[in-house]
Amino acid sequence: MKQTTIAKSVQTVGIGLHKGEPISLRLEPLEANMGIVFTRTDLGISFRAEPANVVNTQMATVVGNQNGFVSTIEHLLSAINGYGIDNIRILLDANEIPVMDGSAISFCMLLDEAGVRQLDESKKVLVIKREVEVRQGDKFVRATPSNNPKFDYTIKFDHPVIGEQRYVFEFSKRNFIEQIARARTFGFLKDLQKLQSQNLALGASLDNAVAIDDTRILNPEGLRFDNEFVRHKILDAIGDLALLKMPLMGDYTAFAGSHDLNHKLTLAIMADEKNYEIVRVDEKFSKEYQKAFA
């Protein structure tokens, strides 16, 4: 199986979650072994999507360097990871990815428009060789060896609308589109009011998030899935793990995970070569990955 990129350039415009201003986003093909590259066209700088370039994980995953950054990358990266795209350039004229509808489905549609093209180099995967776990109190994220990658996520909120939810997602492109991509980000009204008082989340609305007050969901249309909240957490995790620079061959398990714990997990995996092996898909796992991204 070969590495992939998109077949043609595509572009769109959307609102930034924090500044509330229009942002131009363009996706372009990239040659083999280049990975995912962000380019700030307004600053004339580029940087790769990789753990070493993560500069903040407080409310979203942010990559950059001393000259600039790109925030809220996880939904777009989730779609790229879900589609098995290895190499792509992401160009934008602002410091955040457009929020679109708060899920990854708009980015899936953009990737469908672009198409996927095979390159000459063999696809590489990062195979987990032994358990790696990061904990923070009772919260944890964990990677374990598996030839059939799954995301097993549990969340627990002291809120009548959410409560405790668990979802197990078997990774494949089709499953991603059908089960995960449409799950929207969510937030509490009290937190939104605090953020907006700090000139953040100015683009947040019922069009791009599930909003919750003390007792109920404020969106007139309700939820897209009964357990949309935990599904979105899986969407975020798939995007955060795209920073490993190649597909993960292993299971991911989380309880009350976060962008910060996901980032620390990628660092922990890469910190010891005994934790993983980089394998060309034509050497092993070829049938599994061809099926996953058919």
Window from 89-93, 127-131, 286-290 with minimum mean pLDDT? 286-290
Assess whether 145 and 243 both reside in one domain.
yes
Any idea what the CATH number is for the domain that residue 265 is in? 3.30.1700.10
Torsion of CA 86, 89, 94, 97, to 10 degrees: -30
pLDDT at 245: 94
Binding-site residue numbers are 75, 232, 236
Residue 18 is a catalytic residue: no
Q: Domain span at residue 70?
A: 2-122
Burial of 24 (0-12, 13-18, 19+ CB in 10 A): middle
Could you list the beta-strand ranges (E) of 17-148: 22-29, 36-40, 45-48, 54-56, 62-65, 68-70, 88-92, 116-122, 124-128, 132-136, 139-144
* CA-based radius of gyration for the chain: 18
Of 71, 87, 122, the one marking the end of a domain is 122
The pLDDT-based confidence of 126 (bands split at 50, 70, 90) is: very high
Assess whether 55 and 16 both reside in one domain.
yes
The pLDDT-based confidence of 290 (bands split at 50, 70, 90) is: low
Tell me which of 18, 159, 259, 263 is the catalytic residue. Answer: 259
Assess whether 129 and 115 both reside in one domain.
no
Average pLDDT, the chain: 94
Do residues 114 and 55 touch, judged by C-beta distance below 8 A? no
pLDDT at 19: 82
Window from 94-98, 188-192, 216-220, 280-284 with minimum mean pLDDT? 280-284
pLDDT at 4: 97
The pLDDT-based confidence of 18 (bands split at 50, 70, 90) is: confident
Cα within 13 Å of Cα(104), Cβ side:
32
Of 96, 122, 148, the one marking the end of a domain is 122
Do residues 92 and 40 touch, judged by C-beta distance below 8 A? yes
Number of compact structural domains in the chain: 2
Q: Residue 77 carries which DSSP code?
A: H
Of 106, 122, 138, the one marking the end of a domain is 122
Binding-site residue numbers for Zn(2+) are 75, 232, 236
pLDDT at 7: 98
Assess whether 109 and 162 both reside in one domain.
no
Assess whether 40 and 105 both reside in one domain.
yes
Assess whether 276 and 185 both reside in one domain.
yes
Which residue is associated with the tokens 């714990």? 261
Assess whether 101 and 9 both reside in one domain.
yes
Any idea what the CATH number is for the domain that residue 98 is in? 3.30.230.20
pLDDT at 134: 98
Task: Tell me the whole-structure pTM to 2 decimals.
Answer: 0.95
DSSP string, 227-288: THHHHHHHHHHHHHHGGGSS-EESEEEEES--HHHHHHHHHHHHT-GGGEEEEETTTS-HHH
Assess whether 227 and 260 both reside in one domain.
yes
The pLDDT-based confidence of 194 (bands split at 50, 70, 90) is: confident
Compute how many other C-beta atoms are within 10 angstroms of the C-beta atom of residue 282: 12
pLDDT at 224: 98
